[in-house]
Amino acid sequence: MKHAQLSAADAHRVYTAIAELRAILGARLSTGESVRGLHARDNSHHAGRLPDAVAFPETTEEVAEIVRVAARHRVAIVAFGAGSGLEGGAVPVGAGISIDTSGLNRIHDIGAGDMIARVGAGVRRLALNAALKETGLFFPVDPGADASLGGMAATGASGTNAVRFGTMRENVLGLTVVTADGKIVRTGSLARKSSSGYDLTRLFIGSEGTLGIITAVTLRLHPLPDTVSAYAQFETLAGAVEAVVDIKRAGIALGKVELLDAATIDVINRHSPESGLRSAPMLFFEFHGREEDIRPVADLIGEVVTAHRGVLSWAEGHAAQQALWNLRRDALGWAKADRAGARAWPTDVCVPVSALAGVILATREDIAASPAPAYIVGHVGDGNFHCVFMLRDGEEDAVHVFADRIALRAIEAGGTVSGEHGIGLGKRSYLEREHGTEAVALMRALKATLDPDNILNPGKVLPDADTQPYSIHAIQLGHIA
Ligand SMILES: Cc1cc2nc3c(=O)[nH]c(=O)nc-3n(C[C@H](O)[C@H](O)[C@H](O)COP(=O)(O)OP(=O)(O)OC[C@H]3O[C@@H](n4cnc5c(N)ncnc54)[C@H](O)[C@@H]3O)c2cc1C
């Protein structure tokens, strides 16, 4: 990856800031090419630029000092958590400094009685849950990857558990944030609810490092539930999705409900033939509670599944449950491995549950023409699904058009272009269509107030004036009819 040419004045500002930061951080400021390379990408397909330096702070005060230096020299700062993001949020697009939060890794406090934990932004979710093991509590938000809690707050992450426990928005009680002028702000409290003042906590959640750098997070914990798992295979994709809607309407509490389309089940059968699944759409369920509490609702679930031409089976015992959820975890990795040289391009729309079946079916029909195989999986209890393309070099334009249509279809259905991955670089072109001109103008006004020199993760979330959805751009260029 090459540096774009900096003007002499810009280069001077960047290198002066780096020299000042070196005096503060010593060896915890790296300008080595390999370290910068690791901070020039995340788990997405988005290419960026090498940061000019990577800072490794260990305290909130150090983050504040770094930001003050950057602010003084008007140098961009990009927060970097675990780099597991899927929309290029942590990928620098211009000159500047990456702040790696991995050194903010202290678990400050576990209040088992209040079911609260306060942790550094760099603490990973698996490390937190390991530390909670003895308490019988856990932090439920699970984005699949072993992300940092700061990164999860910054993206408004969720995942398979959200249907039961909510997303980061519902599970963060407060934050410590360094603002663009290097001030330290504490939001929220230890109380489980509050109607005191503007909700600054939720202003920063989902802001993807563009409004402040999160250095600590206060989290809501939950008792670790007993779980019972089941799965159902359906004749049709519509049957599977409609069954979820009816189960929710019947008031049955779901711990998790995941959709896998027939193409994904075919992958599972190739890699795990002992699973013996039919090539048909499938739901994986997890119910929370003791087995004897759940059994009485089993008949009701069976009735709903049968009404939608499905067959319900229970995963008996811990090992069978584990094996079932491992299939969900491994399926997309196997799908990628099946196509030599392929990489994944995941989409991430969320629509009202009543519109979900129609949107998924329209997507499945549309992607039949895709040159890259595509797999649909989803946290369907929330109306959130991912259509994941496994593309090879040269297929980017075609996949971009399909991904674009998926996003536009979600907006038309009253939904959102991002259920959980965020906007980053990848989804900026849809922001105005989804939220409207006035709402985006208000977002711009907030950004200008909190970060007037645009030093915090510039080029992310908010669209440039001429940004528009890819297919419209491609039609104008004559790339597609
Ligand atoms: C296999 C796989 C499966 C995934 N499944 C899901 C899923 O089901 N649900 C889901 O929500 N996500 C999912 N993701 C995406 C990803 O794990 C989440 O977006 C996660 O929240 C990112 O956390 P991170 O620490 O890796 O952040 P990064 O990727 O490092 O950064 C993400 C964004 O947050 C900003 N940021 C990071 N730390 C801070 C901070 N301390 N302060 C301010 N801004 C910060 C960055 O600048 C960037 O804009 C998946 C990713 C992978 C690889």
User: Taking the domains of the chain in order of start, what are their residue ranges?
Assistant: 8-102, 104-223, 227-412, 428-473
Q: Which atom of ligand 1 sits closest to the CA of residue 85?
A: 29
Q: Which atom of ligand 1 sits closest to the CA of residue 204?
A: 43
Residues 174-226 pLDDT 10s: 999 999 999 999 999 999 899 999 999 999 999 999 999 999 999 999 999 99
What integer pLDDT is reported at residue 47 of this predicted model? Answer: 87
Residue whose Cα lies nearest atom 53 of ligand 1: it is 84
- Of the candidates 407, 450, 452, 457, the one whose C-alpha atom is nearest the C-alpha of residue 432 is 407
CA of 186 to the centre of ligand 1 (A): 22
Q: What is d(CA 234, CA 301) in angstroms, rounded to the nearest whole number?
A: 14
- Of the candidates 438, 23, 53, 428, the one whose C-alpha atom is nearest the C-alpha of residue 208 is 428
Instruction: Collect the ranges in the chain with pLDDT lower than 50.
Output: 1-2
CA of 79 to the centre of ligand 1 (A): 11
Residue whose Cα lies nearest atom 2 of ligand 1: it is 145
- Ligand 1 is surrounded, with C-beta below 6 A, by 42-43, 78-86, 89-90, 101, 121, 143-145, 147-148, 150-152, 154-155, 157-159, 208-209, 213-214, 420-421, 424, 457, 460
Q: Which atom of ligand 1 sits closest to the CA of residue 81?
A: 30
Q: Which atom of ligand 1 sits closest to the CA of residue 124?
A: 25
Strand ranges inside 41-135, DSSP E? 53-55, 77-80, 97-100, 107-111, 116-120
Pocket test for ligand 1, best of 41, 54, 84, 450 (most atoms within 8 A of CB): 84
CA of 5 to the centre of ligand 1 (A): 29
CA of 293 to the centre of ligand 1 (A): 36
Q: What is d(CA 335, CA 337) in angstroms, rounded to the nearest whole number?
A: 6
CA of 421 to the centre of ligand 1 (A): 7
CATH superfamily of the domain spanning 227-412: FAD-linked oxidase, cap domain/gating helix (3.40.462.40)
Residues 130-177 pLDDT 10s: 999 999 999 999 999 999 999 999 999 999 999 999 999 999 999 999
Pocket test for ligand 1, best of 93, 163, 421 (most atoms within 8 A of CB): 421
- For 394, the token pair is 């040269």
What integer pLDDT is reported at residue 464 of this predicted model? Answer: 86
CA of 343 to the centre of ligand 1 (A): 18
Phi, psi of 172 (to 5 degrees): -110, 125
Q: Which atom of ligand 1 sits closest to the CA of residue 379?
A: 8
86, 43 in Cβ contact below 8 A? yes
Q: Which fold has domain 8-102?
A: 3.30.43
- Cα-Cα-Cα-Cα dihedral sign, residues 447, 73, 154, 83: positive
Q: Which atom of ligand 1 sits closest to the CA of residue 214?
A: 42
Residue whose Cα lies nearest atom 3 of ligand 1: it is 144
Pocket test for ligand 1, best of 38, 39, 59, 86 (most atoms within 8 A of CB): 86
Classify domain 104-223 by CATH architecture.
2-Layer Sandwich (3.30)
CA of 208 to the centre of ligand 1 (A): 9
Helix H or strand E encompassing 285: strand 282-288
- Number of C-beta neighbours around residue 62 at 10 A: 21
What integer pLDDT is reported at residue 296 of this predicted model? Answer: 80
CA of 128 to the centre of ligand 1 (A): 16
Q: Which atom of ligand 1 sits closest to the CA of residue 420?
A: 11
- Of the candidates 161, 168, 166, 367, the one whose C-alpha atom is nearest the C-alpha of residue 284 is 161
Give me the sheet containing 29-30, strands edge to edge. Answer: 29-30, 53-55, 97-100, 77-80
447, 210 in Cβ contact below 8 A? yes
What integer pLDDT is reported at residue 472 of this predicted model? Answer: 65
119, 140 in Cβ contact below 8 A? no
CA of 85 to the centre of ligand 1 (A): 4
349, 410 in Cβ contact below 8 A? yes
Residue whose Cα lies nearest atom 28 of ligand 1: it is 83
CA of 234 to the centre of ligand 1 (A): 33
Residue whose Cα lies nearest atom 18 of ligand 1: it is 85
What lies within 8 Å, CB to CB, of 108 at 6+ separation is 118, 119, 120, 216
Q: Which atom of ligand 1 sits closest to the CA of residue 457?
A: 47
Cα–Cα separations (whole angstroms), residue 481 to 370, 405, 430, 436: 16, 14, 20, 27
Residue whose Cα lies nearest atom 44 of ligand 1: it is 209
470, 399 in Cβ contact below 8 A? no
CA of 455 to the centre of ligand 1 (A): 20
Residue whose Cα lies nearest atom 12 of ligand 1: it is 143
CA of 155 to the centre of ligand 1 (A): 6
Phi, psi of 103 (to 5 degrees): -80, -10
56, 100 in Cβ contact below 8 A? yes
Find the helix packing angle between 396-412 and 353-367, rounded to 10°: 160
